[in-house]
Amino acid sequence: MTTANIHIPIRERLIFALDVPDLDQAQNLITRLGDSVEFYKLGLEVFLSGHYFELMKQLKGDGKKVFADLKLFDIPATVAAAVRQLSRHDVDFCTVHGNDSMLKAAADAKGDMQVLAVTALTSLDQGDLDDLGFECDTATLVLSRARRALSLGCDGVVSSGLEVAALREYADSKLITVCPGIRPVHNDDDQQRVMTPYQAIRNGADYLVVGRPIRTAAEPAQAAEAIQKDIARALEDT
């Protein structure tokens, strides 16, 4: 069985995707989740609310960790400048989505922040990759991008839990693996390559990104705690 990084606190392994359109909804969810979530992902939707850095400051002040999931993609100098700006806000993770020169620019500018390279979005299936012109299967693409990202100085990758076991065979625990597309039950939304929390951790995932299953639950804190229990059980069984 592949192995995740054993030094990560168990309750920090769940990253909640705070994908909401305004400040009121974000703060309401943060309050309702309380101690059930220790790590938050702030993506493009909340970025465009105009309250991104306000929320970031609030979360850091509450002792939470923050993942700035902006998938930076631009000329290397601009990517480097954006990464330096994010690092000033005590961000824990940020994402970069691009070629080798972009990834290297981000890695060189990251400071104490950890940079994650996006491999293949979990909303894409093999047919989508074929349409985009990739002449390989998903697993091959993810592994190739992960190898390049690590060699260029990135700290980890974002990938589906379906590919994480192969990544562990290549890089073991030195590569941070963050897995979106995590669904506790049968999935019928726009995510194509999905996996349960238990399976993803057993495959070697370090962190699990979960949004809708928590956000749309009648009791979000209970939903988050159920996933926390799955994570702990998977680690015990590994």
Show which residues are catalytic: 71
**Per-residue b/e over 57-88, b at no fewer than 16 CB within 10 Å?**
ebbbeeebbbbbbbbbeeebeebbebbeebbe
66 Cα distance to chain centroid: 10
Residue appearing with tokens 């996006």: 118
**DSSP for 35-60?**
GG--EEEE-HHHHTTT-HHHHHHHHH
DSSP lists the bridge partners of residue 96 as: 72, 117
- The Cα 184–Cα 35 span in angstroms is 20
- The Cα 20–Cα 219 span in angstroms is 17
- The Cα 238–Cα 233 span in angstroms is 9
**DSSP for 169-201?**
HHHGGGSEEEE--B-SS---SS--S-B-HHHHH
Token pair of 110, please? Answer: 């990251």
